[in-house]
């Protein structure tokens, strides 16, 4: 349970990572501010989104049933998976013997370790999102949910491409991107299975909605014969009429764009294609049933909380040793992966509240973090108990002040 401490200290010692992170976050925040200033009813949109999510979760099973029925009516297949292992098994079975696999960026597939699972079983798998592609070539996990290699400088990318793709060393982002385009276009054309996540799914129309800038997700859903979309249970919204609210909130909060280059509203399968939706529980149902913590499931994965977090700014994403970094990561990780391994994360926060300010769904992340601290048993119970006994009485309090002054000076607190 010392991971964050160890990793954050290590991260502090890496000034180049800090520099890359710092300017990236600054720019994201500036863009976001401008994009939001344009929307006069931003606060009303946040309220509306929260209300939609609240309703969606309240009727979650009904919505999931509707979603399933609508997809199956068109000839698509829907699979429910309890946990990562089950999800991976289902997907592997679908992919077996169908040829190379290409993937769009999807946090849920990161969470279940899908790529590694498939590759270990002999499948050829290619990440197509540029950032994920670079991270995979580097053998590293992504460090941010919307900008996977925000922590890398271009020189590092240049070295990776030279080594893994055999191209001449270049630090020019245009040239590097062109190399990736050429390399991956071949993979797009020869792939048999395309795997994506799902930013939203819509119950009343059975739609799968995907946001992207690169075009790789559209290619992934269009070229291979088989499209597999993976989602966790809370990603369904009740009605297509709810969608515009999220189209307005997500890109502006995430990257400060009015809208991403491509928003796909799909009714799969496409003609001549095969479609599978894998719906994963993975610990969400437990959160759903927990009234106090339920709003953690309102998250639309925009990453705004991560971009504004002053702690993340210092440590970067890898210090959180989890698929999900930053404030939302500190909340989800102990709940999904256990307090035993991730109970250090709720303390990785000064509770400054900037994340709460910025969250488009107004998730009270600081309050959730404190609740998780409580549920994890709290800090050093014996020490705090002793301390609280002394401070319970005015006399004890006064007497201890002198001592406290000395101790804290000594401990530099």
Site for other proteins in 296-315 (CB under 8 A): 310-311, 314-315
Residues 64-93 that bind other proteins (CB under 8 A): 74
Report the nearest approach of other proteins to the CB of residue 81 (Å): 26
412: burial class by Cβ within 10 Å (0-12, 13-18, 19+)? exposed
Phi, psi (deg, nearest 5) at residue 113: 65, 40
Report the nearest approach of other proteins to the CB of residue 194 (Å): 12
Residues 327-356 that bind other proteins (CB under 8 A): 347-354, 356
C-beta closer to other proteins: residue 81 or 369: 369
CA angle 14, 20, 21 (to 5 degrees): 85
The DSSP element (H or E) to which 201 belongs, if any, is strand 200-202
First to last CA, the chain: 23
357 binds other proteins (CB under 8 A): yes
- Distance between CA atoms of residues 134 and 137, nearest Å: 5
Report the nearest approach of other proteins to the CB of residue 263 (Å): 4
Query: By CB under 8 A, how many residues form the interface with other proteins?
Result: 108
What angle do the packed helices 154-165 and 173-190 form, to 10 degrees? 40
Instruction: Yes or no: say if 125 and 115 are a contact pair by the CB < 8 Å rule.
Output: yes
Other C-beta atoms closer than 10 Å to the C-beta of 334 total 23
C-beta closer to other proteins: residue 42 or 387: 387
**261, 286, 292, 399: residue in contact with other proteins (rule CB under 8 A):** 261
Instruction: Yes or no: say if 11 and 318 are a contact pair by the CB < 8 Å rule.
Output: yes
157 binds other proteins (CB under 8 A): yes
Instruction: Yes or no: say if 239 and 204 are a contact pair by the CB < 8 Å rule.
Output: yes
Residues 177-216 that bind other proteins (CB under 8 A): 177-178, 180-181, 184-185, 188-189, 205, 207, 213-216
User: Which of 101, 93, 147, 151 lies closest to 127 in space, CA to CA?
Assistant: 101
User: Which of 87, 332, 313 lies closest to 197 in space, CA to CA?
Assistant: 87
262 binds other proteins (CB under 8 A): yes
C-beta closer to other proteins: residue 57 or 311: 311
Report the nearest approach of other proteins to the CB of residue 343 (Å): 10
- Distance between CA atoms of residues 196 and 221, nearest Å: 8
Q: Would you give the binding string for other proteins spanning residues 365-404, x where CB under 8 A is met?
A: -----x--xxxxxxxxx--xx-xxx-xxxx-xx---x--x
Other C-beta atoms closer than 10 Å to the C-beta of 369 total 20
**120, 173, 338, 399: residue in contact with other proteins (rule CB under 8 A):** 173
- Distance between CA atoms of residues 400 and 21, nearest Å: 43
263 binds other proteins (CB under 8 A): yes
Report the nearest approach of other proteins to the CB of residue 88 (Å): 26
Sequence-separated (6 or more) residues with CB below 8 Å from residue 18: 11, 12, 314, 316
**170, 190, 267, 341: residue in contact with other proteins (rule CB under 8 A):** 267
236 binds other proteins (CB under 8 A): no
Report the nearest approach of other proteins to the CB of residue 42 (Å): 14
Q: Count of alpha carbons within 13 Å of 57, Cβ hemisphere only?
A: 22
Burial 386-405 (b: 16+ CB within 10 A, else e): eeeeeeeeeeeeeeeeeeee
Report the nearest approach of other proteins to the CB of residue 384 (Å): 5
The CA distances from residue 402 to 388, 394, 405, in Å, are: 16, 14, 5
275 binds other proteins (CB under 8 A): no
**134, 277, 293, 361: residue in contact with other proteins (rule CB under 8 A):** 134
- Using the 8-state DSSP alphabet, how is residue 380 labeled? -
Tokens of 28: 């994201």
Q: Which stretch binds other proteins (CB under 8 A): 51-59, 78-86, 168-176, 296-304?
A: 168-176
279 binds other proteins (CB under 8 A): no
9 binds other proteins (CB under 8 A): yes
176 binds other proteins (CB under 8 A): yes
**91, 191, 266, 306: residue in contact with other proteins (rule CB under 8 A):** 266
240 binds other proteins (CB under 8 A): yes
Residues 35-64 that bind other proteins (CB under 8 A): none
Tokens of 246: 């999220």
260 binds other proteins (CB under 8 A): yes
C-beta closer to other proteins: residue 109 or 207: 207
């Amino acid at each position: 349970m010392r991971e964050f401490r160890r990793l954050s200290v290590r991260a502090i010692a890496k000034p180049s990572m800090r520099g890359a992170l710092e300017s990236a976050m600054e720019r994201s925040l500036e863009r976001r501010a401008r994009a939001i200033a344009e929307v006069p009813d931003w606060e009303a949109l946040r309220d509306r989104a929260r209300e939609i999510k609240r309703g969606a979760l309240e009727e979650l099973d009904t919505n999931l049933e509707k979603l399933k029925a609508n997809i199956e009516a068109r000839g698509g297949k829907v699979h429910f998976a309890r946990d990562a292992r089950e999800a991976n098994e289902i997907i592997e079975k679908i992919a077996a013997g169908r040829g190379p696999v290409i993937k769009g960026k999807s946090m849920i597939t990161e969470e279940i370790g899908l790529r590694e699972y498939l590759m270990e079983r002999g499948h050829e798998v290619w990440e197509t999102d540029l950032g994920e592609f670079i991270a995979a070539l580097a053998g590293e996990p992504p460090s941010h949910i919307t900008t996977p290699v925000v922590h890398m400088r271009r020189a590092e990318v240049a070295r990776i491409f030279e080594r893994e793709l055999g191209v001449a060393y270049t630090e020019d982002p245009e040239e590097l991107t062109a190399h990736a385009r050429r390399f991956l276009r071949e993979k797009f054309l020869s792939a048999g299975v395309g795997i994506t996540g799902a930013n939203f799914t819509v119950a009343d129309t059975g739609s799968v909605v995907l946001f992207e800038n690169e075009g790789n997700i559209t290619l992934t859903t269009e070229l291979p014969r088989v499209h597999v979309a993976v989602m966790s249970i809370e990603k369904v919204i009740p009605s297509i009429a709810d969608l515009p609210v999220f189209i307005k909130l997500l890109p502006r909060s995430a990257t400060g764009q009015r809208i991403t280059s491509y928003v796909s509203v799909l009714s799969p399968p496409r003609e001549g294609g095969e479609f599978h939706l894998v719906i994963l529980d993975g610990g969400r149902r437990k959160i759903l049933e927990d009234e106090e913590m339920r709003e953690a499931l309102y998250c639309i994965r925009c990453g705004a909380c991560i971009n504004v977090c002053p702690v993340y700014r210092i440590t970067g994403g890898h210090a959180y040793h989890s698929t999900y970094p930053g404030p939302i990561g500190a909340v989800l990780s102990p709940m999904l992966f256990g307090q035993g391994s991730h109970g250090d994360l709720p303390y990785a926060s000064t509770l400054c509240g900037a994340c709460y300010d910025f969250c488009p769904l107004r998730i009270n992340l600081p309050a959730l973090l404190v609740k998780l601290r409580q549920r994890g048993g709290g800090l050093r119970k014996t020490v705090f108990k002793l301390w609280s006994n002394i401070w319970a009485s005015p006399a004890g309090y006064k007497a201890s002040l002198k001592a406290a002054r000395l101790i804290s000076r000594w401990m530099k607190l």
